[in-house]
Amino acid sequence: MLQVGLSLPRPPGAAAAAFPMAEPAAGEDSGTGPEVLGSSPVTIVVTSEADTWDIDTSSCLGCGQFVDWDKMPEAQQAAPIPRDVLGRPPKELKRLAREGCWAGSHAGRARLYPRLIQQVSCRLVTPDALVYRDVAARLFGKPSVSSHPLPEFLEGCPMPTYCLNPHGVTALKKILICVGALFPDITHGPLLPALAALLLHYSQDEAQCFESLSRLIASNAPHAAYIDQSFLAHQASCMTFGDLANKHCPAAHRLIAGAADNVLEVYSEWLWWLFPGLPFAYAVRVLDVFLLEGQKVLYRIALALLKLFRLSVGPAGLQGSDIKAELQAFVGNIAQHVTVDKLLERAFGIRLFSRKEIWLLQMANRKALVERGITVVQRRPSFHLAVDMQNFSSSTVTAQEMRLVWSWIPERFSLFPPLLLFSTSQDGCSLQRFYTCCEGYEPTVLLIKTTEGEVCGAFLSSDWSERKKSGATSGFFGTGECFVFTVRPEAERYEWVLIKKPELAKAVPRSRQRSPSPAPESPPGSSRDSRGCSPNHLAVPSPQRRSRLSPFLAVRHFLLPSKTASMFMSGSRDGIIIGKGG
């Protein structure tokens, strides 16, 4: 229940906030001149959520003033928003958002969004609505000032307006200019324009929209960032998405690697597939969940789009087409392929790592970028990440095949060009010579060409010198990032089965050994091993307690205890083993 008036006493437990009147102040020019901020505020007193607050039927003073209602899609027919929605447990709240509980009411979103964002943990000193009014009055309150440049951090970033009217577009620009003035540390923010535009559809005024955006920028929740604020952070997110796409969308990843000169360049636009790529009705449903779950939701949606895109491509593939343009066109016409409910259902069916694990992967990618010379203040990319097609030469694989192999390895390593360490044509066929040439380097890629012309290989995450730690025995080492692959006659990547089929983890028996023993050979003609795993995958190590991080993550990059490592490599004087023994 709302009580609106001047100088009303605040009841116990109620929250108060000042908002400018939606109507023009006396003497204010209602035409195209600069807007005067600083009209007399009214005090809105809101009773606590535990009272009889009805989010569906309550009016929203001033909401919709920035919207072109002719463009705005009709609200979906959905069940009423529960009266005690904000008092629900977080898990229940996420379920309601995923199911589109507040997709049936524009007013419901307008009332709920600010309250959800108020629950976001953020820095102690965060600019709010009052600060915005003060700064906006100084910047835009002088009639002599006719225009202001947009912040530099928006260079090269799309600025969608969705269903905003001309007044809303002006308000959007003013909000972004004030963000640039109050957050000088932001050097690159591709998500900010779309996020501000979407929030503005459901905001009472510019100040409320700014405060919501400000809290998301200043969020300090552990491992749950909302907005990348530098090119370094954004590029690390793009590399992380590439790692996730490589794991969860192998068919689409293989399609992109075959059609694009630079895979990471394609994945660098993954955020644009969502904003501004998705239609408004889809984008706002993504926003519903994003406000509760953070950036992990965006990874899920983008991966689901990538899977659907692969299904839409015919058997002929994408020969000669612009893969980036094809992806953008597909996302823009997503309504022809799948409903928003089915898209979200598919997205949340993807078994991703935990927030902490994704954050650690981002930090590892960020570290690799820093080593490559990327800085926090850098605004645009200045390096090429693909294999040099012109200068690459090998008797084992072609440049095109090497580029495909390079697209399979973790993004933080694919930043660097391949360096030849050992070749039988130059170094002979001595296994000891192989060890000597490869020791001191990690990770490495092993390529093997048979006398029949077939080519296979492996990505090896650890230094071969670690084999010496086992003494005379043939001990195992390495991490779950190891994988084997074939290039000819067919290109295929075979990864750790625990990542590909996480539901199999419960069926794997525990082991007290530090290094798993080689698995027994399967009977002739058998298509599966004794633990139910396909022979096309690496053997599954012992699972860990739920409280531990996935052993997929590399020990030396994330400084995890050594006992959390999974081991897939072994080397001795007699030979090498990668993956499953026997």
- Among the residue ranges 362-376, 503-517, 528-542, the one predicted with the least confidence is 503-517
pLDDT of the residue at 496: 60
pLDDT of the residue at 382: 45
pLDDT of the residue at 206: 94
Q: What is the mean pLDDT of residues 265-294?
A: 93
Q: Please tell me the CATH superfamily of domain 230-386, with its number.
A: Ypt/Rab-GAP domain of gyp1p, domain 3 (1.10.472.80)
* Count of other CB atoms within 10 angstroms of residue 65: 16
Instruction: Tell me the pLDDT tens digit for each residue of 174-215.
Output: 999 999 999 988 989 999 999 999 999 999 999 999 999 999
- Among the residue ranges 77-91, 260-274, 524-538, the one predicted with the least confidence is 524-538
Judging by beta carbons within 10 Å of its beta carbon (0-12, 13-18, 19+), is residue 26 exposed, middle or buried? exposed
Q: What is the mean pLDDT of residues 41-58?
A: 37
Q: What is the mean pLDDT of residues 383-401?
A: 71
Answer with the residue of higher pLDDT: 467 or 269.
Answer: 269
Asked whether the beta carbons of 187 and 231 are under 8 A apart, the reply is yes
Structure tokens at 574: 């007699």
pLDDT of the residue at 277: 93
In angstroms, rounded to a whole number, what is the distance separating the alpha carbons of residues 530 and 507?
A: 11
| pTM attached to this predicted model | 0.67
Mean pLDDT value across the chain: 74
Ramachandran category for residue 367: left, alpha or beta (phi over 0 → left; psi -120 to 50 → alpha): alpha
Structure tokens at 320: 């000669």
Predicted confidence (pLDDT) at residue 361 exceeds the cutoff of 70: yes
Predicted confidence (pLDDT) at residue 455 exceeds the cutoff of 50: yes
In angstroms, rounded to a whole number, what is the distance separating the alpha carbons of residues 537 and 111?
A: 50
For residue 95, give every residue at least 6 positions away whose Cβ sits within 8 Å of its Cβ, in sequence order, or none. Answer: none
For residue 201, give every residue at least 6 positions away whose Cβ sits within 8 Å of its Cβ, in sequence order, or none. Answer: 66, 67, 72, 162, 163, 164, 168, 284
Instruction: Tell me the pLDDT tens digit for each residue of 113-147.
Output: 999 999 898 888 889 999 999 999 988 876 544 47
pLDDT of the residue at 498: 43
Domain range annotation of the chain: 65-228, 230-386, 393-503+568-580
Q: Fill in the amino acid letter for 458.
A: A
pLDDT of the residue at 578: 82
pLDDT-based confidence at residue 165 (cuts at 50, 70, 90)? very high
Predicted confidence (pLDDT) at residue 545 exceeds the cutoff of 90: no
b (16+ CB within 10 A) / e for 69-103? eeebeeeeeeeebbeebbeeeeeebbebbbbbbbb
Angle at alpha carbon of residue 530, lines to 525 and 535, rounded to 5°: 60
Asked whether the beta carbons of 198 and 164 are under 8 A apart, the reply is no
Predicted confidence (pLDDT) at residue 446 exceeds the cutoff of 60: yes
Predicted confidence (pLDDT) at residue 51 exceeds the cutoff of 60: no
